[in-house]
Structure 1
Amino acid sequence: MSKVSTSDFRNGMVLDMDGELYSITEFQHVKPGKGPAFVRTKLKGIVNGKNIDKTWRSGENAEAVRVETRDYQYLYNDGEIYFLMHTDTYEQVPINASQVERKGFFVDGQNCTVVVNADEETVLYAEPKDHIEAVVEQTDPGVRGDTAQGGSKPATLESGATVNVPLFINEGEKIRVDTRTGEYIERAK
């Protein structure tokens, strides 16, 4: 860990505050007309998921933690443990289900991102890629002429997630989904 000044704050920087890790999601330098300058930040807990606001005096120091993102391939899970494989070393890593974000979008064999504390070499959390391709396992058949404009219907993906898809999508088709919002993007080619 290293000390960083508030003037070095950047979005995505990870700070250690009282033993908890927080990522800066937003920051703003404020110079009021009267009084000293300060920095207003919005932080998201990496492990606990809490969102907090914190104000820092200008020039104040904080503990920065160096994190790295690494590509892993999702293999399978047994309910409590998710098993991932490093794409370069083929080393398998078990991760607790509590450390996995957006679980419904993990598809067997697809790559995911693992965020690691680089100083301690510990896994902080794993998340699917922002866009994935998945097969539609179950959806109602779309009937032509049901709506004046487009329309949507729920569809269950092979990963278990449910997303709204256009009426023309049928079971067995492969689609692209944005995992951050859970929205349908397009048919996969």
Structure 2
Amino acid sequence: MAALIDAIDIKRKAFFEFENAPYYCLESDISTPTARGGQTLVHLKMRNLLTQAVFQKTFKAGEKFKEPDLEIVQASYLYSDGDGSHFLDQASFETLTLSENMMGDDLELLIEGAIIQLHKYNGNPIGLQLPLFVELSVSYAEPGAKGNSSSGSVTKNVKLETGLEIAVPLFIKEGDKVRVATETREFAGRA
């Protein structure tokens, strides 16, 4: 039998099962009552790993959740086609496929050979977890105009090798490698 987790023990980045689906905790907030006899409540912002839907829900502190039958495997991105995006499990060398809606817009951050963490629920691939940062090459950048940098916070838009467009400082040019924060999709420095 799977271990049970109390709602009060669910913290940010934890996995748990609710209504027969795996969830990932994005935020957790505990409110303790000021009156006697009041119940401690746990407010969770959570993502359904099957549908990618994000919502908030409040639970009583003593409510119990099962640990999901979730396996996280290292995989490298191979390619995408009409059937979905294909990954190679680094341990079993099995090809795993994620559908277009399982991928969402994460494809904008993947290049061939990128190593990611793939989620498998009950043995089937259901989604992926990107690293905090990815390194991508700039495929198109307009030249920065001289004299625009006096304020120090001037940016320009560039197009990366995956098609993603982000704002970068003026000194970044075509061919440079940049680090992109996967959570915010923002420039995080030169690679």
Moved over 4 A (4+): none
* Whole-angstrom CA distance in 1 between matches of 2:61 and 2:129: 34
Unmatched segments (≥5 aa) in structure 2: none
Q: Percent identity?
A: 22
Q: What are the equivalent positions in structure 2 for 1:140-179 lying under 5 Å apart?
A: 140-150=142-152, 151-179=154-182
Question: Over residues 109-167 of structure 1, what are the superposed CA-to-partner deviations in whole Å (9 max), with x where a residue is unaligned?
Answer: 111221222xx122221143221111111111112222313321111111111111111
Give me the TM-score of the superposition, normalised by structure 1.
0.85
* Equivalent of 1:139 in 141, 144, 152: 141
Q: What are the equivalent positions in structure 2 for 1:6-17 lying under 5 Å apart?
A: 6-17=7-18
CA pair 176-7 structure 1, distance change in 2 beyond 3 A: closer
Q: In the alignment, is the contact (CA less than 8 A) between 2:42 and 2:58 conserved in 1?
A: yes
Q: Give the number of aligned pairs.
A: 186
- Root mean square deviation of aligned Cα: 2.2
For 1:22, the equivalent position in structure 2 comes to 23
* Whole-angstrom CA distance in 2 between matches of 1:96 and 1:59: 36
SS at match of 1:168: coil
SS at match of 2:101: helix
* 1:183 CA displacement: 1.4
Question: Over residues 79-125 of structure 1, what are the superposed CA-to-partner deviations in whole Å (9 max), with x where a residue is unaligned?
Answer: 551011122332221111211142211111111221222xx122221
* Equivalent of 2:95 in 92, 97, 117: 92
Give me the TM-score of the superposition, normalised by structure 2.
0.84
